[in-house]
Structure 1
């Protein structure tokens, strides 16, 4: 099994928003989020959940259409903020 490019917490949080995706199906980095149930309202909720889960805040200038296009785009932003956060 191939390791995902993100932690399990990211996938668990994201999966709750991918309603048409069967529970056992892996999440591909290039999966279209809009094609799998993430509309603008869900994107806002997902972002808030990820910010809370990872203890980060996404600045407005990072909020782009590409960020919400795929899991890889979303993790690129969240992961970069996690990497910049001071260790607790």
Structure 2
């Protein structure tokens, strides 16, 4: 599975992942929690993504499933952009 998201998305996500090295690829199915994303930073990341992509993640969209991988996170943002 190849990454299919804008550079701005990747840069924002990477900024919240202390265990992902600068030279490491952000794979679509990467486990964001194992890369250092905790619950507090997940909220911050979602707020940053909302601002960057002019979307609002509804309360019911704030689940562990939403932030489990870059793919699931980008899918959520992409669906909201199309709505």
Q: Same fold (TM over 0.5)?
A: yes
Helix, strand or coil for the counterpart of 1:36? coil
Q: Write the distance in 2 (CA, Å) between the matches of 1:3 and 1:40.
A: 26
Helix, strand or coil for the counterpart of 2:17? coil
Q: Per-residue CA shift, 1:42-79, capped at 9, x if unaligned?
A: 10100001001101100112222210111111111011
Q: Unpaired segments of 5 or more residues in structure 1?
A: none
Helix, strand or coil for the counterpart of 1:79? helix
Q: Which moved further from structure 2: 3-12 or 43-52?
A: 3-12
> What is the count of residue pairs matched by the alignment?
83
Q: Write the distance in 2 (CA, Å) between the matches of 1:33 and 1:3.
A: 16
Q: Write the distance in 2 (CA, Å) between the matches of 1:70 and 1:4.
A: 11
Which TM-score applies when normalising by structure 2?
A: 0.92
List structure 1 runs of 4+ shifted beyond 4 angstroms. none
Question: Is 1:21 equivalent to 2:20 in the alignment?
Answer: yes
Q: Which residue of 1 aligns with 2:9?
A: 10
Q: Unpaired segments of 5 or more residues in structure 2?
A: none
